[in-house]
């Protein structure tokens, strides 16, 4: 994930936060968060993270357990071993082998602005064929 600025806020592995987390830059979560996450940069959920929230950011990468909705302007990335239970709105969605996604994906140029004409809905599940899949909608 490309950082929007040099600032990265880190929620450590032993931390438990409840409420709204706002970051002017990028955010990395190693611990537990419940509530709302808003970042001007990228949000990275490490393999040790447990997050139950709605996320709004530039890009997001999920390596841990996530429950909630994601709205990003760019790419949503589900890493090997990560799990998403919720809906994703993004320009691009990448699901690696071993990632589990239960929900709906809305993709396209206008997806983050809510323009349905440029978006495509798709139901997805665990990638089983051994490939990393990147889906783009023109």
Which residues are CB-neighbours of 20 under 8 A, at least 6 positions away? 35, 36, 37, 38
Alpha carbon distance 44, 29 (integer Å):
6
**Residue 119 has what pLDDT?**
36
- pTM beyond cutoff 0.85: no
**Residue 108 has what pLDDT?**
79
The predicted-structure confidence for 2-51, as pLDDT tens digits, reads as follows 444 578 889 999 999 999 999 999 999 999 999 999 999 999 999 999 99
Q: Tell me the CA distances in angstroms from 60 to 2, 45, 88, 129, one per residue in order.
A: 10, 8, 10, 23
DSSP-assigned letter for residue 52: E
Sequence ranges of the domains in the chain: 8-136
The whole-angstrom distance between residue 117's C-alpha and the CA centroid of its chain comes to 23
Alpha carbon distance 100, 117 (integer Å):
28
Q: Which residue has the higher pLDDT, 114 or 111?
A: 111
- Under a CB-based contact definition with an 8 Å cutoff, are residues 37 and 57 in contact? yes
Alpha carbon distance 27, 132 (integer Å):
24
* 114 burial type by CB count under 10 A (0-12 exposed, 13-18 middle, 19+ buried): exposed
């Amino acid at each position: 994930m490309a950082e929007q600025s040099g600032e990265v806020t880190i929620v450590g592995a032993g931390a438990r936060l409840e409420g709204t987390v706002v970051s002017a830059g990028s955010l990395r979560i190693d611990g537990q968060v419940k509530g709302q996450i808003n970042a001007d940069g990228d949000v990275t959920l490490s393999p040790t993270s447990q997050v139950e929230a709605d996320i709004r950011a530039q890009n997001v990468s999920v390596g841990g357990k996530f429950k909630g909705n994601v709205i990003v302007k760019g790419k949503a990335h589900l890493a090997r071993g990560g799990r998403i239970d919720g809906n994703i709105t993004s320009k691009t969605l990448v699901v690696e082998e071993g990632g589990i996604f239960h929900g709906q994906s809305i993709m396209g140029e206008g997806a983050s602005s809510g323009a349905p004409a440029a978006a495509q809905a798709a139901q997805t599940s665990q990638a089983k064929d051994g490939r990393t899949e990147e889906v783009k909608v023109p």
